[in-house]
Amino acid sequence: MGIVNALISVVDDDESVRESLPELLQVLGYAARAFGSAADFLASDALAATRCLLLDVSMPGMSGPELQSELATRQSGIPIIFMTALRDDQLRATLLARGAVDCLYKPFNVRELRLALGRAIPKP
């Protein structure tokens, strides 16, 4: 099970992901909030409380990698797990080299998500 009360923020422009992923995260024992854009996430009160960010790579406006850069500039230290429908191993390698915990290819399964979350939020 997840770490009780650890907030996972989901940032994805796909409404179906924003509806289904938080429900799955809650089943796994996490608190979850969803945002439709990077700007919405940055403007929210969830930023300071987020223990892990599930972040779509390609979104209108600020992309996932651009948000990753912005968070690095702010020295936020939030672990990032990217999600993408584009199977691009070079992009994945670049995102991991820039500090992402993982990059999951959509659709991913519960086991893949659990493993990534376990690396992002180590148990005390």
Q: Give the per-residue pLDDT at 2.
A: 56
Give the CATH number of domain 7-120.
Answer: 3.40.50.2300
* Chain segment 1-21, per-residue pLDDT in tens: 555 578 999 999 999 999 999
pLDDT tens-digit readout, 84-110: 999 999 999 999 999 999 999 999 999
pTM of the model: 0.94
Q: What is the mean pLDDT of residues 66-84?
A: 96
- Domain positions in the chain are 7-120
Average pLDDT over residues 106-120: 95
The chain-wide mean pLDDT, for the chain, equals 94
In three state form, how does the secondary structure of the chain look?
Answer: CCCCCCEEEEECCCHHHHHHHHHHHHHCCCEEEEECCHHHHHCCCCCCCEEEEEEECCCCCCCHHHHHHHHHHCCCCCCEEEEECCCCHHHHHHHHHCCCCEEEECCCCHHHHHHHHHHHCCCC
Cross-strand partners of 7: 31, 50
